[in-house]
Amino acid sequence: MSEMRFDDKVAIVTGAGGGLGKAYAKLLAARGAKVLVNDLGGNFQGEGKDSGYAESAAREIRDAGGMAEANGDTVATPAGAAAIVGDAVKRWGRVDILVNNAGIVSASGTLATVTDEQWDNDMAVSASGTFYLCRAVWDGMLERNFGRIVNISSGSWFGMGSAVPYPAAKGAVWAMTRGLASATRAQGKDVKINAIMPIAGSRMTQLMGPEIHGLMERDFPARAVAPVVAMLAHDSTPCNGEMFTAGGGGYTRVFAGVTQGYRATDKDWTPETALAQFDQVMDTTGFHIPEGSMDEAALYTSDVPWEAFKAFIK
């Protein structure tokens, strides 16, 4: 297989001053991309800012022979997102690749102790930031009929205790990935939006205590996630709207599917019937992965007006 290159591609990697984002930026630049290294430069809880963080990462990439420039704007406001995309466009004319990597974990503890401010902060960076950045590059990618967006979600939404703002924000990232991919698929555009749940030791995993953090640093280095991000950012990526876990030198598919379940036609059925069918409903044999929301409804009846529904997707 020939080397997967990114020559002439313009990429933005948000939150790339350190950790995973820097590893993504380094790999894309090492293979020819012009990379805007964005980072606000606060701590992992989102406090503070330091433009030197993005600058030192960009310098490191240039010293290694790559093309990179630094940007210190925030992803968490519409103006910040517009400034980040505007910076890349001013320097290099367009954006081909967007990696929405910036994230913070401001809430920990239990649901009762999570503050309104922590909820707002976690949602602002991962959920709103991803939304603002995607919106800012969207029309350009559709017009040029090329774009690759890699969104960074998190395995935390499988379940990580009751401090839910961060997992909720990362769940929103997954929903945006599915929605945007359904739109470009319906329009037949070569704009592909996928997501990963990384697993890596970073300053963020310090939150899990020294034992877990030590294990993560040893067995899950940030650089071992980067090949999956690069594959999803490449012209040849084979998928749109998919999610993968990635870490430690491998990756797996994550999907939302529906089981064969219990599909009867009696509209006046009872809770007793629902309970009686529970084991069958839980059985994953012969599951189906819906392409979109009406695809799921179509399993109940073949009368779903597909063409009318597809026209609704934009």
Q: Which is nearer to ligand NAI, 40 or 141 (CB)?
A: 40
Question: What is the side-by-side strand order in the sheet with 243-247?
Answer: 67-71, 34-38, 10-13, 97-100, 147-152, 191-198, 243-247, 250-254
172 close to 179: Cβ distance less than 8 angstroms = no
Q: According to the binding rule CB under 6 A, does residue 69 interact with ligand NAI?
A: no
Q: According to the binding rule CB under 6 A, does residue 204 interact with ligand NAI?
A: yes
Q: Which of 279, 284, 277 is nearest to 259 (CA)?
A: 284
Q: According to the binding rule CB under 6 A, does residue 152 interact with ligand NAI?
A: yes
Compute CA distances 157 → 86, 100, 192, 254, 259, whole Å.
32, 17, 23, 12, 20
Among the listed residues 10, 11, 25, 39, the single contact to ligand NAI using CB under 6 A: 39
Q: How many angstroms separate the CA atoms of 99 and 11, rounded?
A: 8
Q: According to the binding rule CB under 6 A, does residue 125 interact with ligand NAI?
A: yes
Q: Which of 100, 95, 177, 101 is nearest to 142 (CA)?
A: 95
DSSP 8-state secondary structure symbol assigned to residue 11 = E
Neighbours of 213 (CB within 10 A): 17
CB of 119 to ligand NAI, least distance (A): 15
Q: Which is nearer to ligand NAI, 136 or 182 (CB)?
A: 136
Among the listed residues 19, 66, 147, 221, the single contact to ligand NAI using CB under 6 A: 19
**262 in catalytic set:** no
Q: According to the binding rule CB under 6 A, does residue 14 interact with ligand NAI?
A: yes
The residue count for binding ligand NAI (CB under 6 A) is: 35
Among the listed residues 154, 182, 184, 240, the single contact to ligand NAI using CB under 6 A: 154
Among the listed residues 101, 151, 182, 240, the single contact to ligand NAI using CB under 6 A: 101
Q: According to the binding rule CB under 6 A, does residue 203 interact with ligand NAI?
A: yes
Question: Residue numbers of the site for ligand NAI (CB under 6 A)?
Answer: 14-15, 17-21, 38-42, 44, 46, 74-76, 101-104, 125-126, 129, 152, 154-155, 197-200, 202-205
- The catalytic residue positions are 166
